[in-house]
Chain A
């Protein structure tokens, strides 16, 4: 599989503090990736670069064969969609929310399949007419995912999508995310605070520590046999329940 997104020596420095350093990563089309690491490791900063909400201080991001800087950010963000930690729904019905990305475009590209987007996000078609403000947090997060899918992106970025959810809702959401990857072939890149979530989603694990990529490999291998000391100590600390 060719890389859908590639990072070439990408680094971020904010106020003289190093946030990300020397990242070389290729995200393959159709892959599932979990970005793990302690708080402040740069996971969210990396995800924001991929959606071009921020630009790196050095290095180049590539979308296919095109550097990020040569693409319109408006088009890029429809191809590489992002869902945030805290779900934001806009006033109106779920349908209004799902139509928003289409309405934002100056040239409307036909009518999107609302029902399909809802189903992919694990919601039934009846949700379309519900008032978005009345939904539970878990349902809102699914609406956010459905809304991100409306533009038929190639990549879905998720920033700790289960952070605001109870364990049951979190597990169900992860299963939906996994299904999006396995059944629809969507490339999924998810930031997670809990390594066991990477097991549910499968695919590859990227471990960031202090802005550096210290591990990158299949999730199962990472959990059985981390290659680095940092990987081992991260797993020991987080799996023994001492969350940072």
Chain B
């Protein structure tokens, strides 16, 4: 199959798929799940958001100005950081900044290495590579970051006695929070390890499916998929490391004291 033979679905054909969602809504109503409204909103949002991004990407790809591409990458990082923070009980500015710094170092470094050192894309800002690869990496790192923050926060809050017992024995705050940061890093890394274990056997990743549909050879598609999986593993590790290190610090004073305001209210109002 090559690109010429790819079916370009007409708007009319897409309209038919709305019928599938309508059936899903019908099932919800019949079973009294109360999800009809959410499903309807989600259907409209999917349509509007994807149409919008489709036109944005068309514009970006045709303009291909480096400042524009970099701006989009930064925007992707910022939106992700805000999303991770919003998942926590009390999102604060400090938390958003910590997540942003961690995602930027994790995903930024990954993208830089993959596109500039390994693939050597030309020109360096080529949006056909940078934007989809960044999307894949951020999407996964964002989930890992959410898991890491949740786990770290809950471990430090529930394990307060243990942490203070260590501090009282002369441990530094890094030593006293080491068990919690290790647990949080593990929680962040497990999803990608699971994915890597079953990829190709149980799951066919979206990017690979997309490339094959787009006319690439399966071998080409798997090469990119391998690249992507390794990129995600690296980015997840770097993001989780940065995030747990920076976040754990927020729980302690410079005198290696546990901050009670952080334990009681989530982040302190600053």
The one of B162, B168, B172 in contact with A53, judged by C-beta atoms closer than 8 angstroms, is: B168
Question: Which residue, B169, B175, B253, has most C-beta atoms of chain A within 10 A?
Answer: B169
Q: At the interface, yes or no: A25 with Cβ under 8 Å from chain B? A: no
B171 and A88 contact, CB distance less than 8 A: no
Q: Which of B17-25, B71-79, B254-262 contacts A (4 or more CB under 8 A)?
A: B254-262
Interface string of B145-185 (1 = CB under 8 A from A): 00000000000000001101111111110010000000000
A55 and B170 contact, CB distance less than 8 A: no
How many chain A residues touch the partner (CB < 8 A)?
25
Is chain A's binding surface mostly helix, strand, loop or mixed? mixed
Q: Within the assembled complex, what's the spacing in Å between the Cα atoms of A74 and B175?
A: 11
The one of B162, B170, B253, B260 in contact with A74, judged by C-beta atoms closer than 8 angstroms, is: B170
Q: Which of A31-71 contact B (CB under 8 A)?
A: 51-55
Residues of B with C-beta under 8 A to A105: 170
Residues of A with C-beta under 8 A to B255: 52, 55, 73
Residues of A with C-beta under 8 A to B257: 52-55, 73
Instruction: Using CB atoms, name the residue of chain B closest to A76.
Output: B170
A148 and B167 contact, CB distance less than 8 A: no
Q: Within the assembled complex, what's the spacing in Å between the Cα atoms of A14 and B255?
A: 18
Residues of B with C-beta under 8 A to A82: 168
Q: Within the assembled complex, what's the spacing in Å between the Cα atoms of A186 and B147?
A: 46
- Report, as a range, how many residues of chain B touch the other chain: 10 to 19
B256 and A74 contact, CB distance less than 8 A: yes
Residues of B with C-beta under 8 A to A107: none
B169 and A104 contact, CB distance less than 8 A: yes
Q: At the interface, yes or no: A77 with Cβ under 8 Å from chain B? A: yes
Q: Within the assembled complex, what's the spacing in Å between the Cα atoms of A75 and B258?
A: 17
B164 and A84 contact, CB distance less than 8 A: yes
A101 and B170 contact, CB distance less than 8 A: yes
Question: Which residue, A52, A55, A88, A100, has most C-beta atoms of chain B within 10 A?
Answer: A88
Closest 8 CB pairs of A and B: A88-B165, A82-B168, A101-B169, A78-B170, A77-B170, A73-B255, A104-B171, A74-B170
Q: A55-B257, A101-B169, A104-B172 are in contact. List 15 more A-B contacts (CB 8 A).
A: A51-B168, A52-B255, A53-B258, A73-B255, A74-B171, A75-B170, A84-B168, A86-B161, A100-B169, A104-B169, A104-B170, A104-B175, A144-B165, A147-B169, A151-B170
Task: Report which A residues bind B (CB closer than 8 A).
Answer: 14, 51-55, 73-75, 77-78, 81-82, 84, 86, 88, 90, 100-101, 104-105, 144, 147-148, 151
List 9 contacting pairs A-B, 8 Å CB cutoff, sorted by A: A53-B168, A55-B255, A55-B257, A73-B256, A77-B167, A81-B169, A84-B161, A101-B169, A104-B175
